[in-house]
Structure 1
Amino acid sequence: MIAGTRRGGRLDGRVALVTGASRGIGAAVARTYANEGAAVAVAHEPGPEPSEQAEKLVAEIVAAGGQALAIGADLADPDAVDALVASARSGLGPIDVVVNNAAASARGPWHELTVEQWDHIHRVNLRGSWLVARAAYPDLRASEHACVINVTSIMVATGQENAVHYTASKAGLIGFTRAMAREAGTDGIRVNAVMLGAIRTEHETELFPDADAVFARVTAAQSLKRRGFAEDVAGTFLFLASDDSSFMTGQVLNVDGGWAHW
């Protein structure tokens, strides 16, 4: 579903591809980008439920006068990633902004993880982010507003039990961000990362349904004694995609309620 993009926003005329955008943080970022004038490719995991959620978000954006397109893709499959970027380009135009938000997650003791579990997390979270950026590279190189925004986790800074494979993949994204920023800077492509703290999303609710217990644990670690929600972090993604951060690359911005201090 596509309609005319509204004008007067900080991302007017730009095309953004946001992965993991059917719900949670990705959906909040997609909605914010559309509100600021971007045409948004809402990339989502294949399957009936994510597809329905993504189409609902697209319908909301279009009804508000924006332009959006839902595209399902398995980021662990290189061919599917290429098809995702090609579909976004065909439907919306050359890509200016890539947000690598999608992530696979699972929990378990480090010594009980299987090779298959380890590899799946890294194929989606780390390799998938590289594949999306690589597929979009011809567009990014030609754009005057090119940027890639990777999503990492506070768990890289704090460590957390039963998440070694996930944490390692998110640490890899920081290295990927810094190395790619150095190399892609010659093409005018900015590459930054957002290190997120504990954000109360649908995914967290599914994993930890006891909201009171999670609140107590999280706020004890944070400087701000409230929970963070997807809407609390979307503004950082807007800043990094806009000209307000035009001289910023290779950086990792913490949005964690003051959990980790640097």
Structure 2
Amino acid sequence: MARIALVTGGTRGIGEAISKALLGRGYVVAASYAGNEEKAKAFTDETGIGTFKFDVGDYDATVAAVKDIESSLGPIDVLVNNAGITRDGFFHKMSKEAWDAVIRTNLDSLFNVTQPVFAGMRERGFGRVINIGSINGQAGQMGQVNYSAAKAGLVGFTKALAQEGAAKGVTVNAIAPGYIGTEMVQAVREDVLAKIVSRIPVGRLGEVQEIARTVLYLAADDAGFITGSTITINGGQYMH
């Protein structure tokens, strides 16, 4: 029987590539999104993947959505915590709202989405939790204190939860992408983008499919001896 996978923020960018890769490997996929109805509809029309709109930062809404997904598709075997936002700005000028929004969506969401599925994974003796972090959670980034703090917290979450799932067949890993050629990154001013690429030893941006292929690897049944790890995919820009 096909395994069920939930990808948060799964209709755009890296999340979209992950959803499509899992579908191509035979998983039954559910993708969550926060607000872009038009993109979500186009994504479903193209892929046939069911989309579910909810705010991963809202615990009650997330619990209800997970219940809805599991009643529609079956128990979630693979969870990819990919949803995230940025609210960049220098720390001395950062508003409390900008701090709270990023911590809520990028860090609180890890509890909100994972907690409702984790007990079931343990009971069934199989589960894969894959958390999408960032190079900036490892190296830090000026102007992204909130984002870097949230993504660093994601690594600690991964290591601790991995210890709780290990004996029950549940692995918990993180992937820390560097600069990937998403629409958002490609929209950066050309001279700024050139400067970013100049700092990447392999001399190019990463591709969303490179992240997706790593998710497939970690999600597989035969990846059971890999847990608590953070896999960096950044072209050598930061070696951790």
Answer yes or no: same fold by TM over 0.5.
yes
Deviation at 1:123, TM superposition (A): 1.0
How far the C-alpha of 1:243 sits from its partner, in A, is 2.4
- Please tell me whether residue 134 in structure 1 is matched to residue 120 in structure 2: no
Q: Report the equivalent of 2:191.
A: 213
Q: Secondary structure of the equivalent of 1:95?
A: coil
SS at match of 1:104: coil
- Asked whether the 8 Å contact 1:154–1:260 carries over to 2, the reply is yes
Question: Secondary structure, in 3 states, of the residue corresponding to 2:141?
Answer: coil
C-alpha deviation, 1:135, in angstroms: 1.1
Residue 47 (structure 2) aligns with? 61
- Equivalence for 2:185: 204
Of residues 32-41 and 186-195 in structure 1, the stretch that sits farther from structure 2 once superposed is 186-195
RMSD: 1.5
Q: Distance in 1 between matches of 2:86 and 2:51?
A: 22
1:171 matches 2:149: no
Unaligned ranges ≥5, structure 2: none
Whether the aligned pair in 2 keeps the contact of 1:14 and 1:39 (CA below 8 Å) is yes
Q: Which residue of 2 aligns with 1:9?
A: none
Give identity over the alignment, percent. Answer: 37
Q: TM-score, normalised by structure 2?
A: 0.94
1:25 is the counterpart of 2:3: no
Do structure 1's residue 234 and structure 2's residue 220 form an aligned pair? no
Q: 2:202 is matched with which residue? A: 224
Normalised to the residue count of structure 1, the TM-score between the two structures is 0.87
In the alignment, which residue of structure 2 is the partner of 1:52?
A: 38
Counterparts of 1:81-160 in structure 2, within 5 Å, are: 81-160=62-141
Structure 2 letter corresponding to 1:119:
D
Return the match for 1:186 from 152, 157, 167.
167
Q: What is the CA-CA distance between 1:144 and the residue it aligns to? A: 4.3
One-letter amino acid of the structure 1 residue matched with residue 207 of structure 2? F
How many pairs does the alignment contain?
Answer: 240
Three-state SS of the structure 1 residue aligned to 2:133 is strand
Conserved? CA contact 1:96–1:143, under 8 Å: no
Measured in 1, the distance between the counterparts of 2:69 and 2:183 equals 26
**Using the alignment, how far apart are the partners of 2:167 and 2:185 within structure 1?**
39
